[in-house]
Structure 1
Amino acid sequence: MTQAAPNAARLSIGEVLDELRADFPDVSISKIRYLETEGLVEPERTPAGYRKFSRADVERLHLVLRVQRDTYWPLKVIRQKLDDLDHGIVGADDEGVLQVPRVIMSSDGLPSAETFTGGPHEMRFRRAELLQASGIESDLLAEAEQYGLIAPSQETYSESDVVIAKTLGDLAGFGLGPRHLRAFRTAADREVGIVEQIVEPLRRRRDVGAAASADETAHHVASLSVVLHSMLVKNGLRRRG
């Protein structure tokens, strides 16, 4: 069987131009070269110096040209948005609006194992973006960080941090500030400790599926612990009612 050449999936600049012209009739080879010069796309080069574009390069050019056409953003802003995308940091969309992450719940409205799963494609937020997405003020975020309710990683925040921030904003409307909610942080740490006691023996196993099995177990046990907590609070309120 004949193997495909390593560059079989790579396109020349002329082939890229033909693809782009279907949506952007005014695009030219000089325009593509200019976008490369500006660092918005980085095609490979053959030993002879010819450009070879991957499918990801073509999609990137589509994105740049669409944003230029639809938003008139300067290249500096587009370059920053692409950098955010590359690093998993979500920015505002073309309308300047951020999508607020939702907690994944089961059909009965309680946390499920999927609530606790993450992944390499989880959105990351800068400080200003978290404030915009959650609707809280900077002072409340600073207080939440002070009391350990929100903890940024490398100056960015997770989807869960956004949901926590929004929840803190809602609770603030009832006069509950982060200093009143430290017990929740302590209780959460205790629950994490219980989960870790269960899954640690699984993590120490040497079989191929040990890590995946440990993660799956952790997610299920965590969901069960939160459901138990929710129902205990529900029953407690019922008894007081």
Structure 2
Amino acid sequence: MRLDRRGLVREAGVEEDFLAELEQYGFLTDDVLFYGTAELEIVTAARDLADEGLHPRHLVMPRTAAEREAHMIRSVARPRSRAGDAAARGEAEDFARDLGESIIALHGAIRARSRGRSERTGLLAPHSSPLRDLRAARWYRRGGTSRYSGRALSSFPL
């Protein structure tokens, strides 16, 4: 997807001033000619949060945390990618994606705990957890060839 500024405003359903505010707080760069899918997702999510009273100035901490996490993932995955080796680059990309998914699952688990949700309250299924579900999805995506191969999904370690 390739959108100019006017197209981004139209697709995201926001005003030009809102894009300027996102640029001011570092969510978008102001020196690009075209925006892609990631920028549209950022603007749309920020718009939804602004509708609930969380404006870009309130979202600096989550933006900073996401940028730091992305840097950490790149730092850990980079050594696995060897120059000139397409297979190693592919494995490093898969590894980085898995790390990102694990971080998202960790965030979900921490948020759930912080909101006071627990198995004792009955709000989560007793056998379910974000990390277990993520690991099961990875296992399935790899065709059952991960280190969890042959084990029941409910036996995945947390």
Smaller-chain TM-score bracket: 0.5 to 0.7
Report how far residue 189 of structure 1 moved: 1.4
What is the CA distance between 1:128 and its match in structure 2? 0.9
Task: Map residues 138-177 of structure 1 onto 2, 5 A cutoff.
Answer: 138-151=16-29, 154-177=32-55
Closer/same/farther in 2, CA of residues 189 and 131 from structure 1, 3 Å limit: same
Aligned to 2:66: 188
Question: Where does residue 76 of structure 2 map in the other structure?
Answer: 198
Q: Structure 2 counterpart of 1:193, which letter?
A: H
Give the secondary-structure state (helix, strand or coil) at the position aligned to 1:181. helix
Residue 110 of structure 2 aligns with which residue? 232
- Please tell me whether Structure 1 or Structure 2 has the larger radius of gyration of its CA atoms: 1
Give the counterpart letter for 1:142 in structure 2: A
1:163, 1:207 → 2: CA distance? Answer: 32
Report deviation, 1:195. 0.6
Q: Summarize the alignment of residues 28-177 of structure 1 with structure 2, pairs less than 5 Å apart.
A: 123-151=1-29, 154-177=32-55
Pair 1:215-2:96 in alignment: no
Number of equivalent positions:
118
SS of 1:124's partner is coil
Percent identity reads 34
- After TM superposition, the score normalised by the length of structure 1 is 0.45
Assess if the C-alpha contact under 8 Å between 1:124 and 1:157 holds in 2.
Answer: yes
Task: Report deviation, 1:139.
Answer: 0.8
Look up the match of 2:131: none
- Pair 1:215–1:152, CA change in 2 (3 A): farther
Question: How far has the Cα of 1:205 moved from its partner?
Answer: 5.8
Q: Give the secondary structure class of the aligned counterpart of 1:209.
A: helix
Conserved in 2, the CA contact under 8 Å of 1:134 and 1:166? Answer: yes
Runs of 4+ that moved beyond 4 A: none
What is the TM-score of this pair, normalised by structure 2? 0.67
Which of the pair is proportionally richer in helix? 2
Using the alignment, how far apart are the partners of 2:21 and 2:14 within structure 1? 11
RMSD (CA atoms) = 2.0
One-letter amino acid matched to 1:176: L
**Secondary structure in structure 2 of the residue aligned to 1:195:** helix
Q: CA deviation at 1:203?
A: 1.9
How far 1:207 moved relative to its partner? 3.6
